[in-house]
Amino acid sequence: MNFKDWIPVIAYLLGSIPFGILIVRTRGGPDLRATGSGNIGAANALRAAGAAAGAFTLLFDAAKGYLAVWIAGRIAGSNGGRWMMAAAVAAVLGHMFPIWLGFRGGKGVATGLGAFLRICPMAALGGGLLWVLVVLFWRYSSLGSIVAAAAMPLLTYALYAPRHAPPDYVSLGTIFISLLILFKHRSNMQRLVAGTENRLSFRR
């Protein structure tokens, strides 16, 4: 078996590390799966253990996506674009369906953001900016994530390289990750429509 073939496995295992649970526990907080929204991501960590826990969860969840893609690039070499995209998909799947938690994980937003910081930094920054603007105006973390995820294929297509469309595998991989994130937010969409979604607060 070629060492490159291990890239998706390595990326999945990196993505599956539940940093939110670990960080909140170290701060004396509850199990994220049993509090708030039950999600293991940054927004629920913020609600459960404060702004620092939320910030560290966001940072580490993004870092594992970035690291997975970086490792893929190092292993695959100069022609490793396909492997880097495969690593991005695998890392997001790892976060969403981690083997350590019975395949019940988070929603993949921060991990996807970290992965795209390596694949298409301008698109990642654009998606992050969209998330910030939506949260500042409406204070719904989920709505920011939905808007950013829906916009990522367009942002990647427009910003991948000056006057050049991205390769097909980048476009298809981006669409797939965006659809996964939107799928994981389906219950949030229902609550947003019903007006029962929790607003984000920066106070514990």
pLDDT in tens, the chain (204 residues): 688 889 999 999 999 999 999 999 999 999 999 998 889 999 999 989 999 999 999 999 999 999 999 999 999 987 799 999 999 999 999 999 999 999 999 999 999 999 999 999 999 999 999 999 999 999 999 999 999 999 999 999 999 988 888 999 999 999 999 999 999 999 999 999 999 998 876 554
Tell me if 200 is assigned to some domain: no
Tell me if 11 is assigned to some domain: yes
Give the C-alpha separation, 12 to 15, whole Å. 5
Tell me if 81 is assigned to some domain: yes
CA nearest to 112, candidates 88, 147, 85: 88
Tell me if 177 is assigned to some domain: yes
Tell me if 179 is assigned to some domain: yes
Full domain range(s) for residue 52: 3-194
**How many domains are contained in the chain?**
1
Which CA distances in Å does 93 have to 13, 46, 146?
Answer: 10, 23, 17
